[in-house]
Amino acid sequence: MRARFEITTRCNLNCIHCGATEYKISKEWTTAEAIAAFEDMISHGVHEVDFLGGEPFIREDILELLSYLNDKGIGILISTNGLLLNENTIDFLATLPYLIGISFSIDGASKEVYETIRGKGNYEKLLTNVQALVSKNKETGSQFQVGLTCVINKLNAPETDAIVALADQFDFNNVSFINIGWFGNAQKNKDKLYIGPLEEFKAYDRAARKVTRVNRIRAMKGKKALSFSIDSMPSIWKYALVQKYPLLSQVGGKFECQAGTGTLYFDASGVLYPCEAVRIHLKSIESEIGEYEKIPLPEHTYEEAVTSESFKKTVAYVQEKRQLYHDVVPCGSCKFSDGCSVCPLHAKSEKVIYWCTEDTINHIS
């Protein structure tokens, strides 16, 4: 079981596309509470922990929490903006054998776009920290993966190929692009950030073309390929990209939602949800299946949380994809809907999935 933790809602930035601003809390886990919760979960089979935020490195005890999990042999993943890293932190990270990977949130290749989204005065510092981490990783022979994650929007869509080039420049292991969630700051700045489905696909296409070129050069140099995940894209998009770029990737089998069955999500106060999307769409879910019982750890046990009727009912609801897609255009009649990666909760809230409407499909076929 993999547990994803919003370990804090605090952050050193206030990015214009950030959804986490909608979920600020006044009290988060203490060090002792976090360790007690981790110990409980590990005893019940949790083998991997993802640290999300806010910004994980804003917590004064983050190295202590990482050390605890590492000593227990638990795989660790960290998503960070990278700006709070320093020499001591980087040296420490290189000593963790169970650190699986670190993903840097970089939403622009150019200084202008990056700082429009993430704030002025941060671009050079980020690149310095990234270089220091990658260099230390190679120097010490550490095995953790270094990745770049970009949230596609109107401002950075023209730069997706340059973002891939940046990932290659710093010898990253992987690069991924995700679509924006319209809540928090993103909703407030929607007029600046909104990108239509055709423009968004073109941004993915631009990135895929660049990844293909980068990996041809990496292969000639005997280097590992830059991983570019497409499995989380809408089915019609990933099939179109693989058809266009045969060397890009092979599309696996049907996408399977792991919410509540293989992956869990905890907010910063320790409340368990099957996934982050459940928290986002909780009011809509409650209107159909009743109130969701928020059971925080470590005030309650892990077993109490995952075996509660409320949790089990919500997991069953999320996994009924056909029912959730029923009234969504064009998902209700789509032959790929069982294995599509479009979140059914997001689909239900939107009513229309513009990525897969006939107009977009005709343009990208």
Query: Residue 182: inside a domain, yes or no?
Result: yes
Query: Residue 272: inside a domain, yes or no?
Result: no
Confidence check: pLDDT of 19 > 90: no
- Please tell me the predicted confidence (pLDDT) of residue 238: 80
pLDDT band at 253 (very low <50, low <70, confident <90, very high): low
Task: Please tell me the pTM assigned to this model.
Answer: 0.93
What's the CA gap between 325 and 317, in Å, rounded?
A: 12
Distance of CA 115 to the CA centre of its chain: 21
Residue-averaged pLDDT of the chain: 91
Map residue 213 onto helix, strand or coil: helix
Residue 74 phi/psi, 5-degree rounding, is -95, 130
Confidence check: pLDDT of 360 > 70: no
- Please tell me the predicted confidence (pLDDT) of residue 189: 96
Query: Residue 71: inside a domain, yes or no?
Result: yes
pLDDT band at 176 (very low <50, low <70, confident <90, very high): very high
Query: Residue 142: inside a domain, yes or no?
Result: yes
Strand partners for 50: 4, 77
Q: How many domains does the chain have?
A: 1
- Please tell me the predicted confidence (pLDDT) of residue 305: 96
Residue 99 phi/psi, 5-degree rounding, is -75, 115
Confidence check: pLDDT of 306 > 70: yes
Q: What is the pLDDT of residues 26-52, one digit of tens each?
A: 789 999 999 999 999 999 999 999 999
DSSP 181: P
Query: Residue 308: inside a domain, yes or no?
Result: no
Structural domain range at position 156:
2-195
Query: Residue 339: inside a domain, yes or no?
Result: no
Query: Residue 107: inside a domain, yes or no?
Result: yes
Q: What is the CATH number of the domain that holds 20?
A: 3.20.20.70
Q: 199, 151 in Cβ contact below 8 A?
A: no
Q: Which of 280, 140, 329 is nearest to 337 (CA)?
A: 329
What's the CA gap between 166 and 214, in Å, rounded?
A: 11
Query: Residue 141: inside a domain, yes or no?
Result: yes
What's the CA gap between 180 and 127, in Å, rounded?
A: 24
Range with the poorest average pLDDT among 106-115, 123-132, 355-364 = 355-364
- Please tell me the predicted confidence (pLDDT) of residue 365: 57
The CB-based long-range contact list for 177-182 (8 Å cut-off, 24+ gap) reads 177/149, 177/150, 177/151, 177/152, 177/203, 177/204, 177/207, 178/149, 178/150, 178/151, 178/152, 178/232, 179/151, 179/152, 180/17, 180/151, 180/152, 180/153, 181/19, 181/280
